[in-house]
Amino acid sequence: MRTVLLDYYIDELTRLFGKPLPPAPEEEMRGRFNEKNYRGMMTLIKVCMGFTAKLKIGWKPPNSIPVEETLSIENLVSTRGVPFERQEFVVFIHRSTVEIAPFEMFATSVANLLASVLLQSKKSSLVGDPAASDVAAMYLGFSNLYLKKEAHTSRRVTPKAGGRVDVDYAERGTEGAITEAEARYVAARLAERFGEHGAL
């Protein structure tokens, strides 16, 4: 486990953001997800994280790549000289994959993306590090979801003849993102430093 590195991330995030944000409203997010109201769910995540820039959703055609690769984000406004709150981003989603993804995986994947943009907006040295973006997402209110095993399971969907699909499961963390054990370590460290926000 990368404990020294995880502690460094927490130190840097404390410098950038101050105290961690309170837990995001899981049941409200889950309700929107179950209704397939992905736009509403992402808006809620955006607000909870203090993401002040504009955010849109773009849909991509079906494919067979893992769920954590079905989300991408693109800045639609030149960042030079433009305040963050006046910038505009679009999150691209592959509908076919997101509709079989666990709620926890989708929510933490979106939170990771937005956290990475927030790190970039603050010109942090953590930009480009998937694990740092995960820890930042936990810091910004998503610890409760990262502590659930479903957040660390990716599903690879392979279309077959007759409309059937094969679904393979793999542990998240193989591409540099944090593992379930590392998420528990981060939550414990946040709880030690800040109390209840890191403990959930």
- Its domain, for residue 22, covers 3-199
Token duo for residue 49: 């994280």
> What does the mean pLDDT of the chain come to?
80
pLDDT, mean of residues 32-59: 90
pLDDT digits (tens, 9 = 90+) for 115-148: 988 998 888 999 888 899 999 999 999 999 999 8
Query: Residue type at 101?
Result: A
Q: What is the per-residue burial (b if ≥16 Cβ within 10 Å, else e) of 103-132?
A: bbbbbbbbbbbbbbbbbbbbebebeebbbb
Q: Which residues are paired to 90 by β-bridges?
A: 56, 74
pLDDT confidence of residue 63: 55
Query: How buried is residue 53: exposed, middle or buried, by Cβ count under 10 Å (0-12/13-18/19+)?
Result: buried
Which residues lie below 8 Å from residue 139, measured CB to CB, with a gap of 6+? 10, 13, 17, 20, 21, 115, 190
* Per-residue model confidence as pLDDT tens digits over 156-172: 444 444 444 444 434 44
Is residue 198 predicted with pLDDT exceeding 70?
no
Candidate from 40-44, 48-52, 119-123, 176-180 with smallest mean pLDDT? 176-180
What is the average pLDDT across 34-54? 91
Number of structural domains the chain divides into: 1
Helix (H) or strand (E) holding 156: strand 153-159
Pairing of strands 165-171, 153-159: antiparallel
Handedness of CA 107, 24, 113, 108 (dihedral sign): negative
Q: What is the CA radius of gyration of the chain?
A: 16
- DSSP-based three-state secondary structure for 126: coil
pTM beyond cutoff 0.85? no
